[in-house]
Amino acid sequence: MGESSPEFVRTSTAAAMTLKHYPGRFHRGAKLKALNLLLTYDPGCYARCAYCGLSASRKPEEDSFIRVDWPTIRTDEVIERANRHGRGLDRVCISMITHPRALEDLNVVARRFRDGTRLSISALIGPTLIKGKGPLLAMKEAGVERVGIAVDAATVELFEKHRGKGVRGPHKWARYWKVLEDAVGIFGRGMVGVHLIVGLGETERQMVETIRKARDLGACTHLFSFYPEEGSALERLARPAVGHYHRVQLARWIIDNDLGSLKKMRFNRKGQITDFGVDRKTLDGIIDRGEAFMTSGCPGKDGKVSCNRPYGNERPSEKLRNYPFLPNAGDVREIKKRLWDYSD
Amino acid sequence: MDSFLSENAGYLNYILLDRKRTVRRGGSLGSFESAKFVSKLHSPVGGRIIGVNEPVLKDPRRINRDPYGSWIVELQATDLEKDLMSPELLGDAGDLRRWIKEELRRAESDG
């Protein structure tokens, strides 16, 4: 069977570094707080998402995912290394891929982490493989505390184009949202995170409406900035402007923290956010604190974001989009400059 | 780049040179970047750049595999003896001890 799950998992480069499987340190002293793991099989993911590094339609010579290498490591070794080197870690996230064995193996891996570590467990689940509530209940039983659902695309049209019929892929928009509702019912309000990728062709308004929709259903949202994976169908699509991304981050923060409402937000003809629907003083306070621009993801025991994915969305030499730490005063000055730039 | 620096940087993805003809001691030659780290590449000595190792620029991970066999630029030093005696390179024993202690403290706090 080769190196496949549940005996093996792939870890992000950041996780491999934190587990001292890879050399290296993080720029600006960032520290990883959550291990990101992927189930792995040969052949890999059956889905064909146009932007994804794991897509079955991607050129076979390319092997990165979300910009970086994901080395394959024996699951027990990951647990051993997490216990030995992972003092700063408080969560592990196990990601399914679209493979017939993934649902069952997710629970096997989750149980091993539940029994072998003190880490809280998240699972990034694949709704296409989930029929009914039974699998969600089984995950909870296996120790999964929170789940993430990678809807990724903000509209049904973009979802179909990049993940469904447009790429002859298996995913269905309606199923994703149905599983999300079921998951909220089982894991609880605020315990389900919807992954959304900014920059797949949606307007800022469409993205904010989807964030609002997720919030109304009892989920929270975790944002990613589109990064073109070499060899994927969208390898030539430009990334969203940094200002575009920061505006969506700010709107998400306002919505997910109940600081304002979508109804009061204003948009221009290009769908860009021009008014966040909160008074100037409140808005300045939110921006100055900087938290709105930190990576959004599952929280740790302290309630702060644990899944901080340092440099997952950009090279360390580029302008940060998801801050893996609290932005400093200089960062906030930069953010303010980009936030009000509508030139994209 | 020595093994200590390449271990700290992680697997290198890019080495970008400024492509200038001369460099002073401690001046920037360009930058190096891994998936999660980026920093300037400082020249240990001043001089004229007479060669660039293009295969290493194309595949920077050669440095991770063989840091002492993978040179980046060849320099014709202007005053090698003076540069090698510079306090930045040598420091004194106290500086070195403090530096090692700080590195150890940082490594331990990393878990």
pLDDT, one tens digit per residue, over A264-308 is 999 999 999 999 999 999 999 999 999 999 999 999 989 999 999
Q: What amino acid occupies position A40? A: T
Would you list the domain boundaries of chain A? 8-339
What average pLDDT score do residues A14-19 get? 96
A102 in Cβ contact with A10 (< 8 Å): no
What average pLDDT score do residues B54-63 get? 96
The CATH superfamily label for domain A8-339 reads Aldolase class I (3.20.20.70)
Minimal CA–CA distance to A82: which of A106, A30, A124, A118?
A118
CB contact under 8 A, B7 and A317: no
pLDDT digits (tens, 9 = 90+) for A39-60: 999 888 999 999 987 776 655 5
Residues 45-104 of chain B with CB under 8 A from chain A are: 64
Minimal CA–CA distance to A219: which of A251, A183, A254, A243?
A183
Contacts of A26 in chain B (CB under 8 A): 36-37
Reported confidence tier of residue B110, pLDDT bands at 50, 70, 90:
very low
Count of domains for chain B: 1
ipTM summary value: 0.89
CB contact under 8 A, A316 and B33: yes
CATH of the domain at B84: 2.40.50.100
Reported confidence tier of residue B93, pLDDT bands at 50, 70, 90:
low
Q: E strands of A256-331, at which residues? A: 266-267, 273-275
pTM of the model: 0.91
CA-based nearest residue in chain B for residue A67: B35
Structural domain of residue B36, as residue ranges?
3-109
3-state DSSP percent of chain A in helix, strand and coil, to 5: 35, 15, 45
Handedness of CA B59, A55, A295, A105 (dihedral sign): negative
pLDDT value of residue A62: 53
pLDDT at B65 over 50: yes
The span from the CA of B111 to the CA of B109, in Å, is: 5
pLDDT digits (tens, 9 = 90+) for A199-240: 999 999 999 999 999 999 999 999 999 999 888 899 999 999
Minimal CA–CA distance to A117: which of A145, A148, A96, A150?
A145
Percent of chain A with pLDDT over 90: 88
Contacts of A14 in chain B (CB under 8 A): 35-36
